[in-house]
Amino acid sequence: MLWLGVNYDCNAAINAELERELVTTDLAGQCRDLGVPTLIVGGTKDIRLRWAVDSLRQALPNAQRVGLADAGHLPWTEQHEHFGRVVTTFLA
């Protein structure tokens, strides 16, 4: 099951709010101080903005990013078996 969101106008409003919030917060600076291995998992069909996750990946010094095909905003439910394999491999 692919979750694409119920209301595109609502998603646009949330994205705009997130953009304002992220611009005023030094999240990247805080992330640069983290040395722990980090896994970022997302769905390749997520309708949400990708720039926030892209900048997070760039800011985390020890991060790995995986995109799950045929998954949207909730890859852990939409592709739960694939998600489980990715996380298990990362933690091994």
Q: pLDDT tier at 71 (50, 70, 90 boundaries)?
A: very high
Report the SS3 class of residue 17: helix
Which range of 1-5, 28-32, 55-59, 80-84 scores highest in mean pLDDT? It is 80-84
Contacts of 85 (CB under 8 A, 6+ apart): none
Domain ranges of the chain: 8-91
Report the SS3 class of residue 60: coil
The CATH classification of domain 8-91, taken from the options 3.40.50.1820, 1.10.1670.10, 1.20.81.30, 1.10.10.10: 3.40.50.1820
- For 49-65, what is the mean pLDDT? 86
| Per-residue pLDDT at 3 exceeds 70 | no
